[in-house]
Amino acid sequence: MLPLDYVHALCLVGIALYVWRREPVRLLLTPLMLLSFFVLYGVGGILYFLGTDTVPAVRTTVTVSFIIMWVGLILGIELARACNPVLLSRAQAAIRTWKNTALSDRSQTDQLLAALGVLMAIFIFGVFFAYGKLGQIQTWLSIVSPHEKLKYRIELGAQGGYLYQLLVASVAPFVAFLLLSKARLGGRVYLRVAGLLLSVAVLFGKAGSFEKMPWLLFLLQLLIVGQAAKSLEISFKRILILTFVLVAGAAAATAIALSSEGAGVFEFLIYRLFEVNNEVIYQTFYVYPQHLPHTWGMNIGLVHSIIGSGELTSAHTQVANFFGAFGATFDAFYIADAWVDFAYPGVAVMSVVVGLLVKSVDIFVASQGKTPIALALIGSGTYGLYQLQVTSAFTAFLSGGLVSIPLLVMLSEGLVHDLSRGRVQWQK
């Protein structure tokens, strides 16, 4: 181990203490974020470098970036606490009484929501069958070579366009969670029917991407929503259930993808969940800026579309091409994208922003009390956390729904409130 690795290990001890005393492990986004980062990129990062030959200078840069990331995340979380004292107090009160509080709902738009869910399901099924996804899935399953399966996924997995992919990824799951959570209150069977129909449509849509994780994550999200309806606390039993579902589902998906069985599947699974994530970070830091210059914002799609020129070739594609994997994408943890754009300052600023926004979302969600909207936001937010682990923060915030879904809820609640108040005043 390098001396810097001991500094990183000391940071991890600090993070563990912070989670224990400040952000206890619950079914909320902030502790889940810190815990997942700790396992995958804290302990996982140290173990990766201990077992792999690396360029010392690049290894040092990655480790320094991890240390900056941890400091930035904590600063962002504490900044969110300081900026929202009233909502924070309300959220903490709701969390303390969550387990003993009955689920309640103040919304009066259930029929409209059910109709929206059915329309979303019809649209997803329509696109799915219009592109012949059922036949494509059968073809994909019949392919033996993992390389050919990857090529097939790259060619056909993104069919349907951006809006369809966004709907399947984050918007429709949120609506499905909301419908199923509202159905828990009883007496409205149509909500459960609409929620189940939309959930099946989402599973079809995610299966049509030919990726191993999205459909499995959706099942985990459903499980998390169901658990959060009872309690936010994570007991040993809950950890076992979530771990079993994740490992068993990922193993089954990997067996299908590799067309293999037995030990090889689990060896690949361990590699895919732990080693490959840190390997891609290292590869990104190896390429930038030693072989390709920092992009200074041009790797951000929105920025490039406004002030850039030519077609955007994302950093994850550039890294894949550099290592000879043409046509593939090397998706990396959000700090890798931040490094590609702005080096150390990018890692520092983006980590503060991530901590600030994730904690702010948690405060907003918990301040809603034990309501269907809070359960749905917890469930949908976990997909955004997954996106943070494998792609840029901007993608997680927008396409992953980590920030866009809560903003949409805030805007819709404000609109409904204004319309209701206007109707009351008009009736007077």
Which of the residue ranges 9-13, 190-194, 259-263 would you say has the lowest mean pLDDT? 259-263
- State which of 143-152, 330-339, 395-404, 406-415 shows the largest mean pLDDT: 395-404
> Is the pLDDT at 281 greater than 70, yes or no?
yes
What pLDDT does residue 268 have? 59
Domain boundaries, the chain: 3-102+273-367+388-396, 110-228
Which of the residue ranges 251-265, 297-311, 325-339 would you say has the lowest mean pLDDT? 251-265
More confident residue, 281 or 300: 281
What pLDDT does residue 397 have? 93
Query: In this structure, what token pair is assigned to residue 259?
Result: 């067309």
> Is the pLDDT at 334 greater than 70, yes or no?
yes
What pLDDT does residue 255 have? 62
Which of the residue ranges 64-78, 161-175, 314-328 would you say has the lowest mean pLDDT? 314-328
What pLDDT does residue 303 have? 80
What pLDDT does residue 19 have? 95
What pLDDT does residue 261 have? 44
Task: Render pLDDT for 355-383 as a digit per residue (tens, 0 to 9).
Answer: 999 999 999 999 999 999 999 999 999 99
Number of Cβ atoms within 10 Å of the Cβ of 343: 16
What pLDDT does residue 186 have? 77
Task: Report the SS3 class of residue 210.
Answer: coil
What pLDDT does residue 424 have? 42
> Is the pLDDT at 6 greater than 50, yes or no?
yes
Task: Render pLDDT for 377-408 as a digit per residue (tens, 0 to 9).
Answer: 999 999 999 999 888 899 899 989 999 999 99
Average pLDDT over the chain, rounded to whole? Answer: 86
Which whole number is the average pLDDT over 282-303? 89
More confident residue, 192 or 146: 192
Q: Is residue 402 a contact partner of residue 396, using CB atoms and an 8 Å limit?
A: yes
Which of the residue ranges 129-143, 256-270, 277-291 would you say has the lowest mean pLDDT? 256-270
Give CA–CA dist 23/258, Å, rounded: 39
What is the DSSP secondary structure assignment for residue 292, as one 8-state letter?
A: S
Give CA–CA dist 204/201, Å, rounded: 5
> Is the pLDDT at 146 greater than 90, yes or no?
no
What pLDDT does residue 402 have? 93
Instruction: Give percent of the chain with pLDDT exceeding 90.
Output: 55
Asked if residue 289 has a cis previous peptide bond (ω within 30° of 0), the answer is yes
Query: In this structure, what token pair is assigned to residue 215?
Result: 């459909």
What is the DSSP secondary structure assignment for residue 26, as one 8-state letter?
A: B
Give CA–CA dist 226/375, Å, rounded: 8
Give CA–CA dist 384/214, Å, rounded: 12
261: alpha, beta or left, given left = phi > 0 and alpha = psi -120 to 50?
A: beta
What pLDDT does residue 419 have? 47
